[in-house]
């Protein structure tokens, strides 16, 4: 259903429509639609714009991508349905690996997401490339590729439940997430959390990676340090102050 461009909730409703189409196309799971609803609720509380604490996190994430030996961006159904094209654009800007990792085991859905990414000119790792196991994650997500997530030193794992980030950290990887809920386990566990809608954050991450290309490694090291706890407190404060 087309959303009127003058509708006050145009961006939010268009995103919802995009996700519904991706669900109908076999990219997004039914549970993914519900997870999106949780995100929407927090976006509403945030005022549906990118705050300064998110911009700071985006810069730190970009610096870590630039410094990493083997950075990996994890794509699940919702990420593919919302921002596949932006993830490919980001992977062109930095030597960033993309890995498809799904909660529900489905060869068809994995293949549809790989084809979506390839359609935008990207490539994606899947456990089919050569598999290893990530301990501590239930479901098919524990199957990861050797050449993608299995070799990562910095992982961006957005829109996940808490198990994934926790397991990646336990495996010794530095982690970042994008999550509208500052109270989620992923947000709390990650080294860097961008509390923002992934649809707004991705183009900004790409711009930040491009902008940081001119920086020296010492400058990048400085920008890569991040006080995640402080950022989450700011996100929480901004939500509660808005509705006082």
Q: Does 181 bind ligand ATP (CB under 6 A)?
A: yes
Burial 192-229 (b: 16+ CB within 10 A, else e): bbbbbbbbbbbebbbebbeebeebeeeebeebbebebe
192 contacts: CB under 8 Å, gap ≥ 6: 57, 60, 61, 64, 175, 176, 177, 226, 228
Q: Does 38 bind ligand ATP (CB under 6 A)?
A: yes
Instruction: Yes or no: say if 84 and 103 are a contact pair by the CB < 8 Å rule.
Output: no
Single out the residue of 9, 185, 215, 236 in contact with ligand ATP (rule: CB under 6 A). 185
Alpha helices, DSSP H only, in the chain?
10-24, 30-46, 52-67, 77-93, 107-119, 162-170, 185-189, 198-212, 217-224, 228-242
Q: Does 136 bind ligand ATP (CB under 6 A)?
A: no
Cβ neighbours around 16 below 10 Å, total:
17
Least Å distance between CB 197 and ligand ATP?
A: 4
Residue from 40, 121, 28 nearest 79 by CA: 28
Candidates 58-66, 116-124, 178-186, 234-242: pick the segment binding ligand ATP (CB under 6 A).
178-186
Single out the residue of 64, 110, 126, 197 in contact with ligand ATP (rule: CB under 6 A). 197
Single out the residue of 184, 193, 224, 228 in contact with ligand ATP (rule: CB under 6 A). 184
Q: Applying CB under 6 A, what is the total number of residues that bind ligand ATP? A: 18
Least Å distance between CB 83 and ligand ATP?
A: 9
Cβ-closest position to ligand ATP: 39
Single out the residue of 27, 35, 46, 167 in contact with ligand ATP (rule: CB under 6 A). 35
Least Å distance between CB 7 and ligand ATP?
A: 19
**DSSP structure class, residue 225:** -
Candidates 61-69, 144-152, 172-180, 224-232: pick the segment binding ligand ATP (CB under 6 A).
172-180
Alpha helices, DSSP H only, in 47-192?
52-67, 77-93, 107-119, 162-170, 185-189
Instruction: Yes or no: say if 194 and 54 are a contact pair by the CB < 8 Å rule.
Output: yes
Site string for ligand ATP, 43-82 (x = CB under 6 A): ---------------------------------------x
Candidates 61-69, 140-148, 181-189, 224-232: pick the segment binding ligand ATP (CB under 6 A).
181-189
Sites of contact with ligand ATP (CB under 6 A)? 35-36, 38-39, 42, 82, 159, 161-162, 178-181, 184-186, 197-198
């Amino acid at each position: 259903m087309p959303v009127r461009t003058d509708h006050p909730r145009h961006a939010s409703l268009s995103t919802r429509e995009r996700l519904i189409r991706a669900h109908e196309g076999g990219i997004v799971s039914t549970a993914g639609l519900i997870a999106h609803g949780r995100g929407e609720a927090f976006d509403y509380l945030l005022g549906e714009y990118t705050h300064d604490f998110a911009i700071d996190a985006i810069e730190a994430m970009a610096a870590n991508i630039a410094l990493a030996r083997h950075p990996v961006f994890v794509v699940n159904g919702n990420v593919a349905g919302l921002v596949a094209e932006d993830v490919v654009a980001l992977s062109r800007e930095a030597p960033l690996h993309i890995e498809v990792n799904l909660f529900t085991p489905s060869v068809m859905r994995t293949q549809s997401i790989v084809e979506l990414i390839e359609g935008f000119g990207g490539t994606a790792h899947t456990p089919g490339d050569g598999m290893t196991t990530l301990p501590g994650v239930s479901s098919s997500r524990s199957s990861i590729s050797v050449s993608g997530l299995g070799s990562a030193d910095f992982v961006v794992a957005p829109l996940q439940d808490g198990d994934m980030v926790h397991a990646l950290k336990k495996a010794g990887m530095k982690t970042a997430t994008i999550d509208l809920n500052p109270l989620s386990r992923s947000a709390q566990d990650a080294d860097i959390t961008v509390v923002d809608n992934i649809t707004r954050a991705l183009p900004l991450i790409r711009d930040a990676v491009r902008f940081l290309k001119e920086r020296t490694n010492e400058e990048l090291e400085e920008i890569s340090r991040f006080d995640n706890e402080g950022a989450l407190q700011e996100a929480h404060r901004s939500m509660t102050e808005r509705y006082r």
